[in-house]
Structure 1
Amino acid sequence: MSEKETTNVVDQAESVIKNLKKNDKGTIGLKTSQIRKFLASVNVIRNKVLIAKGAQKNCDPLADVAVEVKMLKANLLYQAGREQGSDKFVNDFVQKSGLISKIDGVGKDYKKFDELCKYIEALVAFHKYYGGAD
């Protein structure tokens, strides 16, 4: 990923977090545990990809985990769907982050997967920085 692409991903993540719905206390309503749970799932897949990439130089590192990458979409939508109340902070996050289209766009493209990972890491970092709920 080029420096320009990384900067774009970081800027996009910051913008998303700044514009998330606030709770009645005026802080970001999305809980840290909700967003970190998703990051943990991404990191499990990323570790599998890195192991596959290191083990075999001529292999497609995403070939064995393509279904798991697609399952990230299901996991994210599940979290949004199980949310109670009218505020729908997770759904707001899903819509504003564009994660569904980013996950759909990965396919077996390692570069796009790496960009997705960096984007999610940036979302978590900015969520913490801007005071997301614990």
Structure 2
Amino acid sequence: MINNQSRNNNRYQKPAFKKPQLNISFTEESYVSEAEKVILSLKENNFKHGRDVLTTSQIRNLLSLTSSILNDLVFKEFEQVMDKLSYLRIQFVYQSGRNGAVKDLVETAQILKILENVQAKKDKETLIRFCHYMEALVAYFKYYGGKD
């Protein structure tokens, strides 16, 4: 009797969110195709997480912070943008906390891990690659039907 009740209750549970697991190597040769894989995996869930939806505005806001760092790198050394890089990490964490779909993007694309690696390496080229990775994520999001 207990088994029948638990089976009946399980029928009415919401379907589990399919959380993609991707191996992101973030090399110069791979980051563009990895960005595409991230977006395609998020598209499987229609860019949604529960009621939260990933929008172009949300992802472009994060890109604009990234772009300002890229612009600063033209005139400044890496050490001079470290504080902005830390602020960028905080913004990714904050936006992830506000919206589950943004969190799915950040986790699937391994953005926080990559940013930690950029800060640890203190390498200008790696930071530039991260900025281009963000641009690729936005471009593929729009290409594969991301909504405003």
Same fold? TM cut 0.5:
yes
Alignment deviations for residues 79-124 of structure 1 (CA, whole Å, 9 cap, x no partner): 11122xxxx2111111101000111111221011011011111001
Aligned with 1:104 (options 93, 113, 116): 116
Give the 4+ runs in structure 1 shifted more than 2 A: none
> Matched residues in 2 for 1:23 and 1:43: separation?
23
What is the total number of aligned residue pairs between the two structures? 114
Matched, 1:10 2:32: yes
Q: How does 1:49-64 map to 2 (within 5 A)?
A: 49-52=73-76, 61-64=77-80
Q: Distance in 1 between matches of 2:46 and 2:58?
A: 15
Determine helix, strand or coil for the equivalent of 1:49. Answer: helix
**Are the aligned partners of 2:47 and 2:146 in contact in 1 as well (CA < 8 Å)?**
no
Q: Secondary structure, in 3 states, of the residue corresponding to 1:131?
A: coil
| Alpha-carbon displacement from aligned partner over 1:10-63 (angstroms, at most 9, x marks no partner) | 100000000013157xxxx310001100110011111111022xxxxxxxx111
In structure 1, which of residues 72, 82, 88 is the aligned counterpart of residue 88 of structure 2?
A: 72
- Residue pair 2:92, 2:106 contacting (<8 A) in 1 also: yes
**What are structure 2's unaligned runs of at least 5 residues?**
1-26
Equivalent residue in structure 1 for 2:102, among 61, 71, 90: 90
Change in Cα spacing, 1:49 to 1:131, as seen in structure 2 (3 Å) is same
Q: Which moved more, 1:73-82 or 1:11-20?
A: 73-82
The whole-number CA distance in structure 2 between the counterparts of 1:124 and 1:114 is 16
Structure 1 length normalisation: TM-score? 0.79
> 2:65 is matched with which residue: 34, 41, 45?
41
Which protein has the larger Cα radius of gyration, Structure 1 or Structure 2? 2
Query: Which protein, 1 or 2, shows the higher relative CO under an 8 Å CA cutoff with sep ≥ 6?
Result: 1
Between the two proteins, what is the percent identity of the paired residues? 35
TM-score by length of structure 2 reads 0.72
Q: How far apart, in 2, do the equivalents of 1:48 and 1:92 lie?
A: 28
The residue number in structure 2 matching 1:56 is none
**C-alpha distance in structure 1 between counterparts of 2:47 and 2:93, whole Å:** 21
Aligned counterparts of 1:14 and 1:7: Cα–Cα separation in 2: 13
Would the aligned equivalents of 1:18 and 1:130 in 2 still touch at CA under 8 Å?
Answer: yes
